[in-house]
A and B are shown apart, each in its own frame.
Chain A
Amino acid sequence: MTAVDFDELKVDDVSRHFGRRRAISHVSFSVTRGSLLGLLGPNGAGKSTLLAMLATLLRPSAGRIRYGAHDSATPGSALRSAIGVLGHDLFLYPELTAGENLEFFAGLYAVADPRASAIEALQLAGLADRADDAVSSFSRGMRQRVALERALIHRPRLLLLDEPFTGLDDASGAALTARLRALRETGAIVVLATHDLDLAEGLLDRAIFLRDGRMLDTVERPDGLRSTYRGVMSRPHATTVAGRGA
């Protein structure tokens, strides 16, 4: 199966509601290859919903998501094999070893040589010597590293990360940031949702601030994230700038 390839991810006036609750409201943005986009906002801002839609797990109630020429209305195997997701949960089987987990998912993603790519992924995670240990015996930071390599095992064009810094110590956090930077160099599109502003500082090419499902502001190459964040979030609802609906 050949994966869909694309240079741009375009979110066009997307909304998603659950019953009468609007989780995401008229969000529009686009990201191109080799850039790192941050979705920033408090809990319940709609970051995870937005990521689930980008991952094709949820369909937008309105609006479209375009992956190059491919549309979100027709998700399929070819599109899914171009996307990698690091969820809020680990997506790993705790009873299996790190190597088995990676090999299993490599197989599901129809990677040419699952075993070799699992070994390579473990080296990237710095866990080559722990390949035969069950994931349940790993620390939070080690699990997160395996989970990241699991999401990257098929070399996706688009990588989606939901709160990747949660529970990581400084060293693991720095390692993750370095890995994301390296990915950006290879031409991947990285979208990460986080509320950890310190670790995201200096990493993002663009930051989108979300609150209550709406885009409050977009900042290019942000620095001083914390003060920008405070400034944006303290705005009253009436002055939100982006994508207001009727």
Chain B
Amino acid sequence: MFARVVWLVLRKDLMVEVRSLEIAYTTLFFAVSCVLVFAFALVQEGRPPEDGAAGILWISIAFAGTLALGRAFERERQSETLRALMLAPAARPAIYVGKLLGIVALLVAGEMVLVPLIALLFQAPLLARPVWLAVILVTGTVGFAAVGTLFAAMLVRARSRDVLLPVLLYPITVPVIIAGVRATAALLQPDVDGEILRFWFALLVCFDVVFVTLALWTFEPLMTD
């Protein structure tokens, strides 16, 4: 029952997105713009800063992620479909998980374009260890989106939600950004320090577990008036 509702909501979100591709295109374009802005700010005498690629990757993900979150829930607000979801007898945590997976899928798709682009522009060996990079990116994205989905859903009813989402989201997701940047930077070293990598990965996993659990637990009281 739970899994079925998750699947329904996820499939619906992906279907809507495949039809319009609005979030995918705008978010991706925005992320690429971010990368360019950082390139102009940081690249000096034609040389990118050391370790810069990791930071730029994660900042672009965080910025583009906020945009995608805002837009995904604006869509649910348009003809009050979020209300319709809340009226349905389906378990509310399942609706949350469905929305979360949709956002994660979207962001991971964006990252697939972002990573080679940054690797190219900043001469970073990002693709040297693709499996580790994918694992770090997915765990980090899940942590960021877990908090973001809950906050964006709560803010649907609030005034000035567009500004409030980043205001609330960034201070809370600082650990994800630090861990993501450091783990990615560790991957970029010529010989990877396995211990450092595992530490940051473990931190990301703990963050995911704690915040997804917390979100599942509070989604119901937060969404009822």
Contact = CB atoms under 8 A, between A and B. Distances in A.
Chain A directly contacts chain B within the complex, with at least one CB pair under 8 Å:
yes
Interface of A: 1, 3, 55-59, 77-78, 80-81, 83, 85, 87-96, 100, 104-105, 107-110, 134, 150
A108 B20 contact: no
Interface in B183-225: 224-225
Contacts of A81: 89
B12 A80 contact: no
Given A57-B225, A108-B5, A85 B87 contact: yes
Given A56-B87, A93-B79, 11 more contacts: A55-B87, A57-B86, A77-B91, A80-B87, A91-B80, A93-B12, A94-B78, A100-B12, A105-B84, A107-B4, A134-B19
Interface string B70-102: 000000001111011111111100000000000
Nearest to A143: B79
Contact residues of A: prevailing secondary structure: loop
Interface residues of B, number: 24
B8 interface: yes
B19 A96 contact: yes
A88 B16 CA distance: 22
A58 B86 CA distance: 11
29 contacts: A58-B225, A59-B224, A77-B90, A80-B87, A80-B88, A80-B89, A83-B87, A85-B84, A85-B87, A87-B80, A87-B83, A88-B80, A89-B79, A89-B83, A90-B80, A91-B79, A91-B84, A92-B79, A93-B81, A94-B78, A94-B79, A95-B16, A95-B20, A96-B15, A104-B12, A107-B5, A108-B90, A109-B88, A110-B89
Residue with the greatest number of chain B CB neighbours at <10 A, chosen from A56, A92, A95 = A95
Contacts of A77: 89-91
Given A59-B225, A94-B79, A110 B85 contact: no
Contact of B88 (A89, A96, A100, A105): A105
B83 A91 contact: yes
B1 interface: yes
Interface of B: 1, 4-5, 8, 12, 15-16, 19-20, 78-81, 83-91, 224-225
Contacts of B79: 89-94
Nearest to B92: A77
A108 B16 contact: no
B1 A110 contact: yes
A92 B82 CA distance: 10
A78 B88 CA distance: 10
A108 B85 CA distance: 8
B81 A91 contact: yes
Nearest to B77: A89
A84 to B, nearest CB: 9
Nearest to B84: A91
A109 B80 CA distance: 17
Contacts of B80: 87-91
Contacts of B84: 85, 87, 91, 105, 150
Nearest to B88: A108
Contacts of A88: 80
A108 B83 CA distance: 13
A56 B92 CA distance: 14
Contacts of A109: 88-90
Contacts of A80: 87-89
